[in-house]
Amino acid sequence: MRQLEVALIGAGLIARLHLQAWIAAGAAVRVHSDDGRAADLAREFGATAVGSLAEALDGADAVDICTPTGSHHGIALAAIARGVGVVCEKPLAATTAEAEEIVAAAERAGVRLYPAHDVRFAPAFARLHELVAAGRLGAGSVARFLVSAYHPRPWTGHASARSGGILTDQMLHGVDLAYWIFGDVVRVHAYYQGEIATPAPQGAVAAGTVVLTHASGALSQVVARWTATPKPPVRVAFHVSGTGGTVTYDSEWPQEVRVVDGEAGNFGYSGELPFVSEMREFAEAFAGGPEPRLGARDALAAVRITQAAAESAWTGRAVELPIKEVS
């Protein structure tokens, strides 16, 4: 089989993780970034650096957009216009209108569009979805999703508090999972706390508290936080209940290997990274394999729900979300 050609746009932390994963999935990658960091990143992983977006897209099977959110729209539309498939780091776009435009363009052009919602590839969430899809939770009743993390770098960009600021990225994980498990969301209420506009300092603290009402009547409570210290760097927990029982998870539960009463040093084992499972699944789809576990519709839903949450937090009103299909 011919090697998949991927144009990776951006050279920051997410680009690095995606690049590693694409190489593990057997793809050939050309990297472009307009911040001058592409060459170093490409060299480190034996990829190619190219000088322009056009050069990157030329002959590529797919683009992987890992730039700041504000530039996703322009790059995605350029790729779609050339018939190049799109993988896009979350959120798909800064506004619902831009996200809708990207999804509509992709559908018109018949171009595959996959958002990089990596948490769907983490074993705990993938297994939760399998259980729910197999009917082992019965009809969904209520869920809580708790996601917190420490942001190890200063926040760049100019996202207003009104747009959700630094909480958008964190909230997206939780609402995407709630939507994946319980389906369409029709009403959103949110309280956002903290200095959430960007730029923001490393370790900026904030909390978003969201209540989702699903079309089925099921309810989700999502609390997304940025914490003051990296102890732990990331914490995720959920509790989902339905007529078939409950499913619970806490990332603090020990998995296969753990070092205690001493220093772990570099020693550790975490299994396959979700990014690798994710890019392998996307690569197979681009090569004509089965459709991956998420697509354009999910990207759009996640943007709609997070933007509704930001709007609710700003206005103090619950926001109704009409269920609408992409035209």
Report the C-alpha gap between 106 and 79 in whole angstroms. 9
Q: Which stretch binds another protein (CB under 8 A): 63-71, 102-110, 240-248, 296-304?
A: 240-248
> Is the bond preceding 91 in cis, omega lying within 30 degrees of 0?
yes
- Taking the least distance from each CB to another protein, the nearer of 215 and 257 is 257
Q: Does 19 bind another protein (CB under 8 A)?
A: no
- For residue 127, how many other CB atoms are within 10 A of its CB? 12
Do 186 and 215 contact (CB within 8 A), yes or no? yes
Report the C-alpha gap between 25 and 84 in whole angstroms. 19
Report the C-alpha gap between 179 and 49 in whole angstroms. 37
Distances (CA, A) of 308 to 176, 190, 194, 237, 242: 13, 9, 18, 23, 26
Q: Does 247 bind another protein (CB under 8 A)?
A: yes
Q: Looking only at residues 174 through 233 of this chain, which bind another protein when binding is defined by CB under 8 A?
A: none
Q: Which residues of 186-200 are buried (b: 16+ CB within 10 A; e: fewer)?
A: bbbbbebebebbbeb
Name the pairing type of β-strands 206-214 and 245-250: unpaired
Do 132 and 238 contact (CB within 8 A), yes or no? no
Among 245, 317, 320, 323, binds another protein (CB under 8 A): 245
Q: Which stretch binds another protein (CB under 8 A): 24-32, 37-45, 249-257, 291-299?
A: 249-257
Q: Does 154 bind another protein (CB under 8 A)?
A: no
Q: Which stretch binds another protein (CB under 8 A): 73-81, 187-195, 227-235, 236-244?
A: 236-244
Q: Does 256 bind another protein (CB under 8 A)?
A: yes
Minimum CB separation of residue 193 from another protein in Å reads: 30
Among 1, 110, 252, 269, binds another protein (CB under 8 A): 269
Minimum CB separation of residue 243 from another protein in Å reads: 7
- Taking the least distance from each CB to another protein, the nearer of 154 and 245 is 245
In which residue are the tokens 């776009």 written?
93
- Taking the least distance from each CB to another protein, the nearer of 124 and 204 is 124
Q: Does 254 bind another protein (CB under 8 A)?
A: yes
3-state DSSP call for residue 211?
A: strand
- Taking the least distance from each CB to another protein, the nearer of 121 and 286 is 121
Q: Does 102 bind another protein (CB under 8 A)?
A: no
Minimum CB separation of residue 213 from another protein in Å reads: 23
Give the contact letters, 106-145, x = binds to another protein (CB under 8 A), - = no.
Answer: -----------------xx--xx--x----x-x-------
Half-sphere exposure for 272 (CA within 13 Å, toward CB):
14
How is residue 71 written in tokens?
């530039």
Report the C-alpha gap between 61 and 83 in whole angstroms. 8
* Residues near another protein (CB under 8 A): 123-124, 127-128, 131, 136, 138, 239-240, 243-249, 253-265, 267-269, 271
